Structure 1
């Protein structure tokens, strides 16, 4: 466990639309590669938990154990939703904390599983987060990490609004030192962070959005990111987009949502490390 660092910025932001999207995630959707390794009495840490839907699903898989969801202070609205949902659903073995994944507020060898979903690609120092996850994991436990690879992202058919969205997010990512190829570098980051490569298993899975409901779901969150998020605010302030571009982006995603031939797919890379 490292000393706390300055509070990191949250690169997307916590608007209601974005949080509601994250709250639809499940353990089966997001960490199926981990589920066969779970035992009913395990203690699990979920770093970057957001509104906690994955966290609460993991808690159901370890009824004699416990799960701690952790996110940064900027995610406070999402954490409050997570706590409310836990109370409403009667899930007593899940709790939620505030903290920085670069300096986890837990003793070494505390958890049987340290899990993180779609966090490393949005952090300045993914190696440090991997080190922290490994440190708080007990010997014999598991580190489980999933990240998408935006360099593999297909949106079909293309249009000008979607292209403007991708250009905007790409420029903001690049300014913050975040590249589009996180997924394919996950095993490299693990080696650089000191993981024993012989204990690292890498798998892949994909997200595909094709049906009208799926297009409305993913297109809706992209509209929110393009208009409401920190991405959009930074891009406008820096001059990466004009005042008219948010409407262009919104309309482009709506065109894609309404297109019966619309399809989106992306590859996720998954790391399972047996410590």
Structure 2
């Protein structure tokens, strides 16, 4: 087994970002991170995103709201951030508390500032193959890892375990755009291990710790583990049982240190692209 680590991919994006920032006119691009409540997962991702933006030489501001904020109050505050010309891009940490109508917030966000691809406009662009929209950062991070490691996607059999609008579905569309033959799977798919064994590129994004076992993977496969879970010992782990893969002839992204490291780099990339689009308008 050979590990496909995220750090070199993130470093390459950082080099690209440094050159792009030099060429931008006007103020340094600014990211607004919006968080409601104190969920550990949200706070962890926020810290990671802030650290990455600062490392890339970009500006970032966090907006934190109480968990019990009303739908009306949140929408009013969100719209102020959304319309602020000083804000280049927005990262909204989801899911939102149940009292907030999340779909309405998704429809409100300016597509040009929607760096994580949650607006109906950007989703439609991803599904239609229009490159002018922002895809969800994690989905795009998978493509970045494959390309950075010179892994051919065209013509390959790809299986994606997961059907969420955050990763599974948009990633399937991105792989299809690269001319892969894609099978979308999920935890209720019949004969799932057999389908996975047929895949040359296997993406695990079901959110179930250690779900993908050694017997599910064929020799020579590229396995991208998008899962972020906590095992019985309190340690971070993915959807792939990495320990069982040690003696296998395959490529695997580790957890941690794999896709997650690239996701925040893609967020920074999207922020710069948003700034560039603003200059051209």
- Answer 1 or 2: which has greater strand percent: 1
Same fold (TM over 0.5): no
TM-score under structure 2 length normalisation = 0.36
TM-score under structure 1 length normalisation = 0.37
